């Protein structure tokens, strides 16, 4: 029987730079395994048996990766870490968003079903697991504070013009459309005023986890404002900030402080 106090976790990232530091911390115990076009890395991550996968970009890529983690590798909880575009008021570059709910903003099967509702499920919003969400949120808060207090972390923040990064918890949107203009962002804010951020994968993974009844949680670092009102070089931001955030948050969450 699996140990429910220390479940086998699956950790997804969309981009290689977001996964890099996690791979460096993984104590590999199994050879790399290929499923389709995905590489699955099995080992121990801060005391947990873990499987890491680079999902790729978009909902289909994320959903197939999540399904393999659950059905083929026996993962009992899935965590997503990466970047997102800020939507909500006060959600700025360098902030961290921990998802409490996820929704696919580009799903519209109306008039057969209400807009955003996943057909035949009766819901549009998929809740993240409360216990894992709390662990990620506490880990994120400590990671943010640690980065401000660390000379190297503070220098990275200063180099990107970030002064006081904050933690946010709430609704995270996903869709197969990159939101990078004021018109698109304003439409999402009008339709979903409580949305904090937008990406291209998380809600798809949340739906897969709901289907399999597997706990799910996600943490995203804000790399830009989705309305293009504030923007920095994405590759530079990922190198200097996002990968460090993701690794630090998971380390603190998994170690239990």
Q: What is the pLDDT of residues 107-135, one digit of tens each?
A: 999 999 999 999 999 999 999 999 999 99
CA distance 138 to 153: 18
Q: Residue 41 domain-assigned?
A: yes
**In-domain check, residue 152:** yes
Whose CA is closest to 55, among 74, 69, 42, 44? 69
Does residue 2 sit within a domain?
no
> What is the band of 226 on the pLDDT scale with cuts at 50, 70, 90?
low
- Cα separation values, 252 from 26, 185, 238, Å: 15, 33, 20
**Which one of the listed residues 76, 117, 224, 227 is annotated catalytic?**
224
Minimum mean pLDDT range among 19-23, 53-57, 202-206: 19-23
Query: Coil, helix or strand for 205?
Result: helix
| Active site (annotated) includes residue 18 | yes
For residue 4, being part of any structural domain is answered with no
150: in domain: yes
Active site residue 224: yes
CATH number at residue 88: 3.40.50.1580
1 part of a folded domain: no
pLDDT at 242: 66
By DSSP bridging, strand 77-86 and strand 9-13 are: parallel
pLDDT tier at 3 (50, 70, 90 boundaries)?
very low
Listed range (47-61, 118-132, 134-148, 220-234) with the worst mean pLDDT: 220-234
pLDDT in tens, 159-197: 667 778 889 999 999 999 888 778 888 899 999 999 999
- Residue 190 falls within a domain, yes or no? yes
Number of domains in the chain: 1
- Domain, as residue range, for 251: 9-255
Helix 243-255 to helix 130-149 angle (10° resolution) is: 120
* Crossing angle for the helix pair 16-25 and 243-255, to the nearest 10 degrees: 40
């Amino acid at each position: 029987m699996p140990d429910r106090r220390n479940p086998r976790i699956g950790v997804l990232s969309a981009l290689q730079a977001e996964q890099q530091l996690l791979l460096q911390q993984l104590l590999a115990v199994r050879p790399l395994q290929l499923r389709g076009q995905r590489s699955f890395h099995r080992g121990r991550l801060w005391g947990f048996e873990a499987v890491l996968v680079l999902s790729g970009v978009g909902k289909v890529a994320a959903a197939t990766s999540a399904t393999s983690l659950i059905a083929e590798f026996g993962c009992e909880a899935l965590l997503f870490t990466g970047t997102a575009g800020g939507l909500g008021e006060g959600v700025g570059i360098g902030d961290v968003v921990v998802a409490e709910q996820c929704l696919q903003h580009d799903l519209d099967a109306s008039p057969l079903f209400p807009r955003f509702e996943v057909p035949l499920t009766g819901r549009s919003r998929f809740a993240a697991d409360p216990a894992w969400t709390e662990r990620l949120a506490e880990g994120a808060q400590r990671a943010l504070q640690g980065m401000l207090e660390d000379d190297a972390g503070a220098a990275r923040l200063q180099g990107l013009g970030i002064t006081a990064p904050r933690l946010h918890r709430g609704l995270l949107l996903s869709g197969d459309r990159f939101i990078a203009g004021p018109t698109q962002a304003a439409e999402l804010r009008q339709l979903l005023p409580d949305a904090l951020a937008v990406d291209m994968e998380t809600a798809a993974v949340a739906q897969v986890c709901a289907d399999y009844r597997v706990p799910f949680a996600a943490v995203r670092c804000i790399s830009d404002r989705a309305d293009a009102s504030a923007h920095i070089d994405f590759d530079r931001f990922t190198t200097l900030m996002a990968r460090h955030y993701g690794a630090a948050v998971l380390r603190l969450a998994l170690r239990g402080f």
